[in-house]
Amino acid sequence: MFVLLYSIEMSEGEEDLAKEEEKNLESIDRTLKEILKWTRFANISKLKEILEAELDSDEKKLAYENTDGVNGLKEVATASGAPLTTVANWWQKWYRLGLVTESEERKGRMMKIVSLDDVGIKVPKRTITAPSPQPTPVQQSGAGESTPVEGQKRENV
């Protein structure tokens, strides 16, 4: 097997042209970032209005805030307390409304376009209540002695 390597050398004029193109691209990038900044500023009140109308429950706010392009449906559902299918439906609606975009790093996952804090919407805290301890169920054995139900540990009393 032969591997043929080509060495491409640029003339001085071509190098100058490449540097000029790079400067132009950097200038375009700065200009686009500036336009984006002012566009966001001009429309922030409308965006906040839409977010407040759409995120009308703590579950939705928590789901939206945790939609970061890294978390999947399961993680967002757990963080918000909403069922998996509900979060999937929210993602579809929010995508249609332009409130989320598809993650560039992880296909199939959504990413919010803005943090709720950035538009002045308070993010609720998720309160998780631990289940209360349940006593171990017992059944009577034939000898009048209590034995644990199948699958349960026996507690020493």
In the prediction, which pLDDT does 138 show?
52
Cα–Cα distance, 68 to 70 (Å, whole number): 5
Which residue type does 15 have? E
Domain ranges within the chain, ordered by starting residue: 15-124
In the prediction, which pLDDT does 143 show?
52
Is beta strand 110-112 parallel, antiparallel or unpaired with respect to 138-140? unpaired
Cα–Cα distance, 26 to 22 (Å, whole number): 6
- The SS3 assignment for 112 reads strand
In the prediction, which pLDDT does 126 show?
75
Q: Which residues does the chain have with pLDDT short of 70?
A: 1-10, 127-157
H helices of 55-126, in order, are 58-65, 73-80, 84-97
Cα–Cα distance, 123 to 103 (Å, whole number): 22
In the prediction, which pLDDT does 147 show?
46
Fold of the 15-124 domain: Arc Repressor Mutant, subunit A (1.10.10)
Considering the entire predicted model, what is its pTM? 0.61
In the prediction, which pLDDT does 151 show?
47
